[in-house]
Amino acid sequence: MSGNPDLFETALREIGASFARQPDKPEETPEGTVKALWLAAAGTPLSVEAASEVALPLLDETQAMMLNELVIRRIAGLPLAHLTGRQRFMGLDFIAGPDALVPRKETELLGGLALARLAGIAGPRAIDVCTGSGNLAVALAATTPGAVVDAADLSAEAVAMARRNAALHGVEGRVTFHVGDLFDALPRAALAGAADLVVCNPPYISSAKVEGMPEEISKYEPRMAFDGGTFGLSIVGRLIKEAPLFLKRGGWLCFEIGKGQGPYWLKALGRMTIYGAVETAADADGDVRALAARVS
């Protein structure tokens, strides 16, 4: 390994002594964490995955001091993606920070479900609400030729980050961002019945459970991005009622849900005559974590 071996081993011991694996961030390991912090100290911000793919440069004295500070802040509980400024999602490195929810691996289930719905459509049109850092909107545009996406979020700060991510991946000309509450942020007259896909990673954690979440989430990430109200159902309820107004006949609504919510939402969609086929994506434990419903 290149770099300063003694410095690396010291940082690895410190990180390892306090390391607790986060189920929603399986890619973060002690060694990967140190590599990502090392590169951040060197002025090369990369995600954990990207950091593992490059050689580590030598750090000068100032950079070594920066690494030590980053290690201290990570041990104190600050999210790794906030310290490095990067998080990988669907094979792309995204700008990350406290203004928007850090993209999770579990959301790639939703991303894959959405991408499959756009396959074979020439120049598809998509809508992404609760866009956050823009990870879904940008990934869809970057991996689907000719795709045009309108994306919205209630947080102006999150939308500003999303615009930076669109520019980072060269799709700013095909992704338009709006600030506002769900579909209220969108130009309704222009988009009514126009979309092939509506995608959403909504807040779905019940308010009562928020305080019991790991501090790394509840203390450092924006609460509006994961607090879904009393039962964690209110935002999704609005989503499935309003989405058909923007979808073409045969268009798809794809959205993420919390663990254990699958049976409830499958029944709810089954009671709505506007939706026909329903497909699911499950995690490694067999829990349904994303749903796709087709407008009939």
Q: CATH 1.10.8: which residues of the chain? A: 5-84
Cβ-based neighbour number of residue 145 at 10 Å: 10
Rounded Cα gap, residues 47 and 58, in angstroms: 19
Q: What pTM value is reported for the model?
A: 0.94
Instruction: Put residue 120 in one of left, alpha, beta given phi > 0 → left and psi -120 to 50 → alpha.
Output: left
Residue 160 host element (H or E): helix 156-168
In whole angstroms, give the CA distance from residue 14 to residue 71: 8
Tell me, what's the pLDDT at 1?
Answer: 44
Q: Where in the chain is the domain with CATH 3.40.50.150?
A: 107-295
Rounded to whole angstroms, the Cα distance separating 107 from 252 reads 17
Instruction: Yes or no: say if 96 and 103 are a contact pair by the CB < 8 Å rule.
Output: yes
Half-sphere exposure of 140 (CA within 13 A, CB side): 37
Each residue's pLDDT expressed in tens, for the chain with a length of 296 residues: 456 889 999 999 999 998 878 877 889 999 999 999 999 999 999 999 999 999 999 999 999 999 999 999 999 999 999 999 999 999 999 999 999 999 999 999 999 999 999 998 999 999 999 999 999 999 999 999 999 999 999 999 999 999 999 999 999 999 999 999 999 999 999 999 999 999 999 988 888 788 778 888 888 888 888 778 876 788 999 999 999 999 999 999 999 999 999 999 999 999 999 999 999 999 999 999 999 999 99
Full DSSP string of 162-197: HHHHHHHTT-TTTEEEEESSGGGGS-HHHHTTTEEE
CATH class of 5-84: mainly alpha
CATH of segment(s) 107-295: 3.40.50.150
